[in-house]
Structure 1
Amino acid sequence: MKWFDNTSLTLVIIGAVNWLLIGIFRFDLVAFLFGNMSWLSRIIYTIVGLCGLYLISLFGRIGSMSE
């Protein structure tokens, strides 16, 4: 399961960098690489969002490890 945590974290970091680029430069890297709201870019956005939701469970696991 650790590989899934690491993969999810990597994808969420990439998504955060994409949001940083959108916020500062109005440049959407995913749309630039895969097309503006193409089926492929929508899949990427969905996967990154699902990984973000999955990583919410990380808070509970960190708390249980420290106890």
Structure 2
Amino acid sequence: MYKLNNIDKLSFVLVLIGALNWGLLGLLNFNLVNVIFGGIPFLARVIYILVGLSAVNIIVFIFRSKKD
């Protein structure tokens, strides 16, 4: 079994936050990231980038864990 490092744990949390945001957006047309960081568009963009990078990390994690 593969041991999770801190980057992997953070990636899982960020992807969950991104998935919840998409769910809220689809169901209620409510963008949680814009509500929290709406006054700072650059910060909201950074959050979106981090969620995307986290998804890539989880994909890599899946392939790493299959090798072990």
When normalised by structure 2's length, the TM-score is 0.85
Which structure 2 residues correspond to residues 44-59 of structure 1 after superposition, within 5 A?
Answer: 44-59=47-62
Q: Give the superposed CA RMSD.
A: 1.6
Q: Percent identity?
A: 38
Query: Separation in 2 of the partners of 1:36 and 1:54?
Result: 29
SS of match in other structure, 1:27: coil
- CA drift of 1:59 comes to 1.6
Partner of 1:30: 33
Deviation beyond 2 Å, 4+ runs, structure 1: none
Instruction: Give the gaps of 5 or more residues in structure 1.
Output: none
Q: Please give the per-residue CA displacement for 1:1-28, whole angstroms capped at 9, x wherever unaligned.
A: 6111001111110110000000100000
Instruction: Give the gaps of 5 or more residues in structure 2.
Output: none
Query: Separation in 2 of the partners of 1:40 and 1:17?
Result: 18
User: Alignment length, in residue pairs?
Assistant: 65
When normalised by structure 1's length, the TM-score is 0.86
Partner of 1:64: 67
